[in-house]
Amino acid sequence: MEEVTRFDMKQPPIRQKGYLKVLTWLISFPVVWLRGLKINKANMKGLKPPYLLLCTHKSFIDFMVTTACVFPHRANYVVAIDGFIGREKLLRNVGCICKRKFTNDVQLVMHLRKVIDNGDILVIYPEARYSLIGTNACLPDSLGKLAKLLKVPVVTLSMHGNFLYSPVWSLRKRRVSLSADITQIITQDEIRQLPKDEINKRINDAFIYDEFQWQKDNGIHIKYKNRAKGLHKVLYKCCHCGTEYKMLSDGNMLWCEHCGSKWTMTELGELIEQNVKKHIHIPHWYEFLREEVRRLIEAGTYFFSSDVVIDSLPNADGYIPLGEGRLTHDMNGFTLEGIIGGQKFLLKKDPLSMYSCHIEYDYMGKGDCIDLSTLNDTYYIYPKIKSWSATKLSLATEELYNFFSRK
């Protein structure tokens, strides 16, 4: 691995080339038109680049919706390194800037300032991963500081329908109309005057969303017959008997193998428990799981450990298998260790170094995984035990960060 060429993170961002800007329009507009995208603008009159655009992140179609919303202006997009695999030159020329997820990268800040100095739109998806259950994820406190540093207006783009169109736990596409709210939440004058805490508050308030509630409020019926398939990946613990890792799903059904409880997912995105006919709002179940994890952390008893298979992504050429190791996640954060190339390998990530983490469900056909990054490598980690949940590790990462931040 010492001989492997690393992704060049120092290469400055490229202004989106004119012919490629047109290409992004040709790719994006037919897709969003077919899905009836409605763009709602607020406080945007007269606003021209440069500005900072912060977008919700729910599915791959986000990028096409964003392109339509900033038309006809050019933009630079912060993109995770796995998005560059096999197409680094194209993405750089389109204006993408590479980032390894949940790392503190000073070099990136220099690139972001370059975009603003060029007079373009800087697009960031600060949740840094697709929404797991159609609700907003935690945001980094550094956003307020970044906005003050860039000294340009702050705009948010809240997209609706994108999660319902292709949820992360089942990427099959549904028939759903899309809408997007693009709003200037901080003006050029305000960015100079407001403290970073107030900027963070405005950003966090703008990022509150609930896709299942939006679906219900707008009467959107999803008739896709497998609409619940994969939902157990997120709802890993039965809310009836409290048993973990015994949930399963298929078609429009979700059930617990341990106690036999069953739920039907309606066309309006609600769960109805059989026999008792009790309605459950899906994000409420997810928050119940968060509370259960928080309880373990506050008691100091949270613990996970497993033998794992490790892949490395040092550059955009693809994954390199490193072999096996062991991953532990506890009150001290993440510890990944093993023997690679005959040498001891150790990666530690303390709780305050990651406000969240990136997970994948059935990634590349190899199973659920979690990835951890340094500034020059990203490790995709596949636990070998059967009874575990990537969702639980994700929730624990966020709650450990919150717990130690409060302390």
Element of type H or E holding 312: strand 303-312
Element of type H or E holding 373: strand 369-373
Distance between CA 254 and CA 230 in Å, rounded? 9
Which pLDDT does position 55 carry in this prediction?
Answer: 97
What contacts 203, CB < 8 A, 6 or more positions away? 54, 126, 139, 143, 144, 147, 154, 156, 185
What is the secondary structure of 215-268 as a DSSP string?
Answer: HHHTT-----TTTTTTGGGT--B-TTT--BS-EEEETTEEEETTT--EEEE-TT
Distance between CA 19 and CA 275 in Å, rounded? 59
Which pLDDT does position 2 carry in this prediction?
Answer: 73
Residues 106-135 have a mean pLDDT of 95
Q: What is the pLDDT of residues 12-49, one digit of tens each?
A: 999 988 888 898 999 999 999 999 999 999 999 999 99
* Percent over 70 (pLDDT), the chain: 100
Question: CA nearest 84: which of 314, 275, 251, 294?
Answer: 314
pLDDT band at residue 105 using 50, 70 and 90 as cut-offs: confident
Residues 271-291 have a mean pLDDT of 93
Which pLDDT does position 167 carry in this prediction?
Answer: 96
Q: What is the pLDDT of residues 183-223, one digit of tens each?
A: 999 999 999 999 999 999 999 999 999 999 999 999 999 99
Which pLDDT does position 193 carry in this prediction?
Answer: 94
Chain mean pLDDT for the chain: 95
- Catalogue all structural domains in the chain, each as residue range(s) with its CATH number: 18-217 (no CATH), 231-266+270-297 (no CATH), 302-406 (2.30.29.30)
Q: What is the pLDDT of residues 152-174, one digit of tens each?
A: 999 999 999 999 999 999 988 99
> Bridge-partner residues for 371, per DSSP?
358, 380
Question: CA nearest 186: which of 319, 47, 283?
Answer: 47
What contacts 298, CB < 8 A, 6 or more positions away? 403
What are the backbone dihedrals phi and psi of residue 3, each rounded to the nearest 5 degrees, phi first?
-90, -5
Which pLDDT does position 3 carry in this prediction?
Answer: 80
Which pLDDT does position 51 carry in this prediction?
Answer: 98
Does 277 have pLDDT greater than 90? no
Residues 273-291 have a mean pLDDT of 93
Does 10 have pLDDT greater than 80? yes
Q: What is the pTM of this model?
A: 0.94
